[in-house]
Amino acid sequence: MSFKFKLGVGACGFNLGMLVVNLGFRNADAIAALNPDMFSAFGQGMVVIWGATYLAAGIAEAGAAVWCAFALEKLAYAVGWLRWMSRNDAVALVSAAAATGDLGSVLAAVFHASYGPGDAAFMLAFLYAATVREAPKRD
């Protein structure tokens, strides 16, 4: 298996994690309430769609331009996370959500407190994928 295939699968899995934190869209409102600009219900759906595109790119062994575009998309989310973190007390938010005992609230708070580093890591991996030249496959 090539690096790009593995990356596509990994990035898809990371994005499909949205379906866990929003409980199959039953918790979409709680996710959206904390950052409606980036994570409206529609935005959450697009996270899942982006996951499918990463998988498709990995399967197709997409070229450098595609991986660079993916890196730009992840940069937007990483910067959005930094902006959100600068305006919110993530620890207090997670603590308050935990105190309620409501799983949906806890998942929403933990998601917002933690998604940024994963997006930043995938941004770097996508940039690497754009520059790596893998050896041709042998029959």
69, burial (CB in 10 Å: exposed 0-12, middle 13-18, buried 19+):
middle
Q: How far apart are CA 118 and CA 15, in angstroms?
A: 10
What residues contact residue 27 under an 8 Å CB cut-off, 6+ apart?
21, 104, 107, 108
Q: What is the pTM of this model?
A: 0.89
Neighbours of 126 (CB within 10 A): 25
Tokens describing residue 44: 């959450």
For 74-119, how does the pLDDT look when each residue is reduced to its tens digit (9 = 90+)?
A: 999 999 999 999 999 999 999 999 999 999 999 999 999 999 999 9
Place 135 in a pLDDT band, splitting at 50, 70 and 90. Answer: low
Q: Indicate whether 139 pLDDT > 70.
A: no
Both tokens of 47, joined, read: 């996270």
Q: Please report how many Cα atoms fall inside a 13 Å half-sphere around the Cα of residue 21, on the Cβ side.
A: 26
List pLDDT tens digits, range 41-69: 999 999 999 999 999 999 999 999 999 99
Over 70: is that where the pLDDT of 35 sits? yes
The residue type at 32: A
Reading the block at residue 72, the tokens are 């730009």
40/136 Cα distance (integer angstroms): 42
DSSP one-letter code for 88? S
- The pLDDT, as a whole number, for residue 133 is 79
Look at residue 136 in the predicted model and tell me its pLDDT. Answer: 61
pLDDT at 56: 98
Which tokens is 129 given?
Answer: 């994928």
